[in-house]
Structure 1
Amino acid sequence: MNKTKKFISAEAVGIGHPDKIADKISDVVADYLIEKADNKQEARTAIETLISGDDIIVRGEFKAESEANKNLDKKEYWKSLYWNLKNEIIDKVFKPLRDKKCYNFNIKLSEQSEDIAQAVDKENQEIGAGDQGIVYGYATNESENFLPIAFNIATRILQEVEERIRNKTLLNAGYDMKSQVILEKTKDNYKVHTVILSVQHSKNYDEFEFKTKLSELIKKAAKVFLPNINYDFNILINSSGQFIKGGAEADAGVTGRKLMVDTYGTIAHHGGGAFSGKDFTKVDRSGAYIARYIAKNLVKAQLVDKAEVQLTWAIGKPTPLSININTFKTNKVPVNLLIRSVRKFAPLKVKDIIEKFNKQEIKFSAITNYGHFNNQNTPWEQTDIANKMKRYVLAQLKKRKK
């Protein structure tokens, strides 16, 4: 009897994809507002961007008081803010894309709602969640960075292509690109079934040479995560035909429209809230980051082979209302002990999460692309509580046996 084949799929997008341009703009604006605030810990941002054709529209709310702006009247302040943000966006977003196009900027921000502000900043210094929400974090032991192999390959392919564009060894390529990887689950590991890659290109290009180089990059990227790779897999490059028009010229881009690309490439759940443009009081962002931190530490502690951590929040409340852990039947110890170890060692209060994350200066715009959990230097990628969790759980098991 033939068993049904099991396939795992993941996708990624490049830095020139219109949705990621919108995400980047929102993060650049958030970075700027937080950096200019006298008290960075009290700065608040919730920025949304729409980019389409020649138009860039930035909207949102913020709270970031600055001594330097107190002497300006409101009209002068908003005028100064507009030009500063416009220059920041051009320098941080479009220059790296080598995009010299002229855009119509429409930037209008308002001050954070008093209702939201009073829910977040309590008189007793306890910080409440900036919104209600459900967030997920995921980790697996199938790769060194605790991310799914399919997502790793999809992401690595685009990073390889981008590097070749920058060093001019892949000519006539543009930064708008998208990859998709389909792996077939085998008895011991995975085998590559299909890789789909779309890369923007100039009108006059050598199609055969272009696709040959991309095929080589695909195989090189896949081999990093599957050393014993099979090379008999399907490769589809620009399967719809030509891909000349890209970026916002071809498709509108909106902040938060690539949620699965920001996390685990469809392998795990996503709560639905976007990350980009938001400060750490927004648990859509910080809650998802701490959920990833918890999942990764559980896997690092070898208490599970994979874990998906779900946290639920209510606006104004300092801690999650519930914690759920799905181990996909890979847990070595009872799940209730895993949850107890999380409550004991993981920072769960919004205030504690922010303090942990702010121990090193985080630039949101530096982590916009290629997944928010792909930079191993960020604080939520640390595995500093894994040993504590393991010792605690083993001690609790020992007590139960007595």
Structure 2
Amino acid sequence: MSRLDYVFTSESVSEGHPDKLCDRISDAVLDAFLTEDPLARVACETFATTNRVVIGGEVGLTDQSRLRAFKDGVEGIARECIRDIGYEQEKFHWNSCEVTNLLHEQSAHIAQGVTGERGEEGAGDQGIMFGYATRETPEFMPAPIHYAHAILRRLAEARKTGAEPLLRPDAKSQISLRYAGGRPVEVSSIVLSTQHESEAQTSADIRAIVEPYIHEVLPDGWINDATRWWVNPTGTFVIGGPDGDAGLTGRKIIVDTYGGAAPHGGGAFSGKDPSKVDRSAAYAARYLAKNVVAAGLADRCTIQLSYAIGVARPLTIYADLHGTGAVDASEIERAIPQVMDLTPRGIREHLGLNRPIYARTAAYGHFGRSPEADGGFSWERTDLADALRRTAASLAA
């Protein structure tokens, strides 16, 4: 039986965190290629350190002769990402940092794996992917990671609008929530570290800035006299971003997903086009898990998918309803392939993933966001709930 009374912690990092800056550049480059060629195959990695950004990886285009022209715009994309995030430091400035572009043509041996069995498009690699959903929040997300993201997103808004000009882009949050009867009821501790303008500012000064925003985003009553606060616990945090710590694409995969409340397959998302099941199947698994919960078939749901390189259909579909199911998990496993095509092509077409919708996913989580009119966060829709409910009921009959 699952524990009902406990404390669970999740962390988030801001868009200005060095790793997230790299995720943003990689996804912005991906968006640029998909804008020009919806069938582009992209695996873009970014590394950032003091006054330097290095972009590398592989690109396959429908017309490979156009790669040179597309590559010429990559430096400008990187600089715009850095400018939008807000870096204008002496040792990391959007206009003066050195940008090195090492993107090259996709390996033919990797490309052949996508052709797959019987001429079908196969998975580009083997792997396991997980999706998760819970009724803890209206967004069907675990509460600790949801609110850790919300705090940093709100502080970024205040910084960018000029409401808090003393804040800088690099920041991290960490929320510990106490659960009673399986539901989150209070914040036991808050950790918030944010880059700031001046060494004269103390931790108390920074807490005075950020505390009202934290109260604003957390539910009433969750913060109380027992809540422990740790705001800039090391003191001064003026040197930040890639000047303070190197960044790399794909190093914040738990921040990107469920904050440790659910399993992770291990593959990063950013910089990868949707032919890569590391990304697209993880989105599909979240979509399925969320629709299971939205359909009233469970209060919590984990879905695992597994793939083999060059093979179109998933090898396995696994569901865990964590003892909360209105039906047996095996019925969910049998219903899923009847309501959704889980081949790489089927996922991309069902969720509309061959569009430039990825840069916006690079910070504050890939899940728990609102579906957008242009197809962004399409995997957050609950339009499959009725079909899942009907199919599961017919299988149980």
- TM-score by length of structure 2 reads 0.91
Give the letter for the 1:56 counterpart: V
Match among 74, 84, 88 for residue 73 of structure 2: 84
Instruction: Give the match for residue 50 of structure 2.
Output: 53
Asked if 2 retains the 8 angstrom alpha-carbon contact of 1:18 and 1:51, the reply is yes
Identity %: 34
CA–CA distance in 2 between the matches of 1:307 and 1:4?
Answer: 16
Q: How far apart, CA to CA, are the structure 1 residues paired with 2:117 and 2:132?
A: 34
Aligned residue type for 1:48 = E
Counterpart pick for 1:169 among 160, 163, 181 = 163
Q: Distance in 1 between the 2:342 and 2:136 partners?
A: 27
Give the C-alpha shift of residue 266 in structure 1: 1.3
Q: 1:203 aligns with which of 182, 198, 201?
A: 198
Aligned to 2:224: 231
1:323 Cα deviation after fit: 1.0
Contact 2:274 2:354 in 1 (8 A): no
- Tell me, in whole angstroms, the C-alpha distance in 2 between the residues paired with 1:148 and 1:200: 27
Q: What's the counterpart of residue 155 of structure 1?
A: 149
CA contact 2:132–2:262 (8 Å) conserved in 1: yes
Give the AA of the match of 1:61. Answer: E
CA deviation digits over 1:8-40, x for unaligned, max 9? 111110010000011111111111122223xx1
Find the residue that maps to 1:271 and give its secondary structure: coil
Aligned residue type for 2:82: V
The answer as to 2:108 corresponding to 1:109 is no
Q: Which runs of 5+ in 1 are unaligned?
A: 71-76
Q: 1:242 to 1:128 in 2, by over 3 A?
A: same
Q: Given that residues 27 and 359 in structure 2 are in contact (C-alpha distance below 8 angstroms), is that contact kept between their aligned partners in structure 1?
A: yes
Q: Is the 8 A contact 1:138 1:268 kept in 2?
A: yes
The size of the alignment, in residue pairs, is: 382
Superimposed CA distance per residue, residues 295-351 of structure 1 (whole angstroms, 9 cap, x where no aligned partner)? 001000111110111111101111110111122111121111111111211231111
Match of 2:387 in 1: 388
Q: Deviations over 1:364-385 (max 9, x none)?
A: 1121111011322121111111
Q: Distance in 2 between matches of 1:266 and 1:362?
A: 28
State the alpha-carbon separation in 2 of the partners of residues 256 and 274 from structure 1.
Answer: 5
SS of residue in 2 equivalent to 1:248 = helix
Residue identity opposite 1:221 in structure 2: V
Q: Counterparts in 2 of 1:3-402, with a 5 A limit? A: 6-37=6-37, 40=38, 42-66=39-63, 78=68, 80-99=69-88, 100-101=93-94, 102-122=96-116, 126-187=120-181, 189-190=183-184, 191-207=186-202, 208-223=204-219, 227-232=220-225, 233-358=227-352, 361-377=355-371, 378-397=377-396, 399=397
Provide closer, same or farther for how the CA distance between residues 45 and 360 of structure 1 changes in structure 2, counting only shifts above 3 A: closer
User: Aligned partners of 1:360, 1:381: CA distance in 2, in Å?
Assistant: 16
**What is the Cα deviation at residue 228 of structure 1?**
3.9
Give the alignment's TM-score, normalised by structure 1.
Answer: 0.90
Structure 2 unaligned regions, length at least 5: 372-376
Q: 1:5: Cα distance to partner?
A: 5.5
Residue 306 to residue 195, structure 1, CA distance change in 2 (3 Å)? same
- Kept after mapping to 1: 8 A contact 2:294/2:382: yes
Q: Secondary structure at the match of 1:157?
A: helix
What secondary structure does 2:388 align onto? helix
Matched residue of 2:59: which SS? strand
How far has the Cα of 1:95 moved from its partner? 3.5
| Letter aligned with residue 20 of structure 1 | K
